[in-house]
Amino acid sequence: MVVYLVGAGPGDPDLITLKAIKTLQKADVVVYDRLANEEILKYASGAARIYVGKRAGAHSKKQDEINQILIEQGKKYDNVVRLKGGDPFVFGRGGEEMLALLEEGIPVEVIPGVTSAIGVPTSSGLPVTHRGVATSFTVVTGHEDPTKNEKQVQWNYNADTLVILMGVGHLEENIQKIMEHKDPQTPVCVIEKGTTPDERMVLGTLENIAQKDITPPALVIIGPVVDVYQSLQSKKR
């Protein structure tokens, strides 16, 4: 018995890895998320499917319930795939699931995926680093666990590029805190439904981005690389 924690990539089903496809093809059961494109499930045509999708304010299963499902399936089947959007270990709670499984003596193998933090801006033509402009980037969650006694995200990052995942629900609040450390005129790009046919780019600055019409799922890129993106786009016209 093995439970595979598999990254499905940022949205476009063609961006899943070959190793992930091979693992899905031998799966007995697939436990999958909302952000894992359902087209990918065609590679596991012979497997049972269990949906445990989560989104802010509407969780079909709590994390403890998901852990228990994985434990039960891991003890029942030889090959269980836990299919997660992006990469299992980039805000995917893969570490928690792995720990729960190992504590039950269930072997785990992690298959990385293309994280949306890089895959989405890259596929849109927005480089998160660029020589002479940005030599560093930070990836941060915009939605911390509300049960925490103290916030870990302080928003005083010195990286040239800041990428925020799961940040739409608290965008205005987070942007206000970021402006305590960055110029309000710092360029911002929000990418909705990245790498999919419904992708949408919203451009602005720290000062005005929260007033724009934005719907999740989306990620936020902050920094001068947004100007680089606009320059590149202008040369394509």
Could you give the CA distance from residue 170 to residue 87 in angstroms, rounded to a whole number? Answer: 22
Maximal CA-CA distance, the chain: 57
Which residue among 33, 84, 160, 201 is the active-site one? 33
Q: Is 148 a catalytic residue?
A: no
Distance CA(176)–CA(51), nearest Å, equals 36
Which residue is catalytic, options 84, 87, 160, 166? 166
Catalytic residue among 26, 54, 177, 182: 54
The pair phi, psi for residue 23, each rounded to 5°, is -70, -40
12 is catalytic: no
CA separation for the pair 161, 163 (Å, rounded): 7
Radius of gyration of the chain (CA): 19
What is the signed CA dihedral for 212, 215, 220, 223, rounded to 10 degrees?
A: -20
Nearest to 58 by CA among 147, 149, 169, 158: 169
Reply yes or no on whether 33 is catalytic.
Answer: yes
Instruction: Enumerate the active-site residues.
Output: 33, 54, 166
